[in-house]
Amino acid sequence: MTNAKTKVGVLYGGTSNEREVSLASGKVVLEQLPPDRFEVTGIEIAADGSWQIPLKDCKQFEVIFIALHGGDGEGGKVQAQLDSINVPYTGSDARASARALDKIESTRIATETGLAVPKELTLAKPTTAHDEIISFGLPAVLKPTNGGSSVGVSIVTQPDQIEAAVATAYDENSTVLVQEYITGRELTCGVLGNHSSELTALPPVEIIAASGFFNYHAKYQAADTQELCPAPLTDTQTAELQRQAVAIHRALGCDGLTRSDFIMDKGGAMYYLETNTIPGMTPTSLCPKEAIAAGLSLAELFTRQIDLALERAAAS
């Protein structure tokens, strides 16, 4: 007698500015979850926020695979909604999701954990932004305090660029983070596991954007962006990057899969930037590349995330 298949709902789409990436992630997860183990159903959240299968009816699933990026889907609201009906889901819980998406909170926690972060300034009043940024110093990076895929992010090198950069960031969020621009190598590292148990760091990636800035276009549209996996680092550098990625995953209280971004300066010092609690899931996304480099297929990567979700639910 064979065991019954696990009923999985794959949640994708959503209302954030990363909707198109989420649609692509959801499609891949639906295609790659092994059909001999899982009975899989897609659940699209429309651009107006309506669920293809109403929330109350999602109790039919044993676990929800969340393939949402940014906004409510990555920031904790959807996780809280699923908690309200007691359905397990992949990734971090509502509290950890909110902490990670909030760049001010996550860098504070990183600092408390002993990780270096770029010097920063928080802006809440756009009318005084120009003088504050000039005093802060250029070049600087301006970004919304919530969000992903580098949407709304600008590198400002000249005073006449400030006004447009501030407007771009404020289009995405009411609070803006200004960070010191650090010249160096852009690195990212995935971590797999629940924060209260053993964690596995994946092989890191080095990102080389032809424009010098890994923005939304470079991530998803540019053909000349290089993503080197495993990153060409020394064994010592790789171990330190993985240590820091594991440390922030645990400190934020994250579960499942995360991907944390860093800059390594010319002297070899690592600076933490942010943590993504629901990384992209397409074959060209960074974490799947890392998993493949570690010997995991996409099916195995997605199955492991479901197993972790069920382990967390069983322990609660």
pLDDT at position 147: 61
Class of domain 120-180: alpha beta
Report the DSSP pairing between strands 38-45 and 6-13: parallel
pLDDT at position 306: 98
pLDDT at position 154: 92
Cα gap 20→15, rounded to integer Å? 10
Q: Where are the domains of the chain?
A: 6-91, 98-116+183-315, 120-180
Cα gap 285→301, rounded to integer Å? 13
Cα gap 179→160, rounded to integer Å? 18
Give pLDDT tens digits for 196-234.
Answer: 999 999 999 999 987 554 434 444 444 578 999 999 999
Name the burial class of residue 44, with classes exposed (0-12), middle (13-18) and buried (19+) by CB atoms within 10 angstroms of its CB. Answer: middle
pLDDT at position 316: 86
pLDDT at position 212: 52
pLDDT at position 108: 97
User: For residue 28, what are the β-bridge partners?
Assistant: none
Copy the structure tokens of residue 308: 């972790």
Cα gap 98→77, rounded to integer Å? 8
pLDDT at position 219: 44
Calculate the dihedral angle through the C-alpha atoms of 272, 277, 283, 284, rounding to the nearest 10 degrees: -40
Cα–Cα–Cα angle for 18, 92, 248, rounded to 5 degrees: 95
Secondary structure class of 192 (helix, strand, coil) = strand
Cα gap 189→229, rounded to integer Å? 10
Q: What's this model's pTM, rounded to 2 decimal places? A: 0.92
The stretches in the chain having pLDDT less than 50 are 1, 149, 213-222
User: What are the Cα distances from residue 138, in Å, to 29, 133, 134, 212, 230?
Assistant: 42, 8, 7, 17, 32
pLDDT at position 224: 74
Q: How many CB atoms lie within 10 A of CB 51?
A: 17
Class of domain 98-116+183-315: alpha beta
Catalytic positions are: 18, 149, 220, 259, 261, 274, 276, 280
Domain 6-91 has CATH 3.40.50.20: yes
Cα–Cα–Cα angle for 266, 268, 270, rounded to 5 degrees: 110
User: What 8-state DSSP symbol labels residue 51?
Assistant: B
Cα gap 96→286, rounded to integer Å? 21
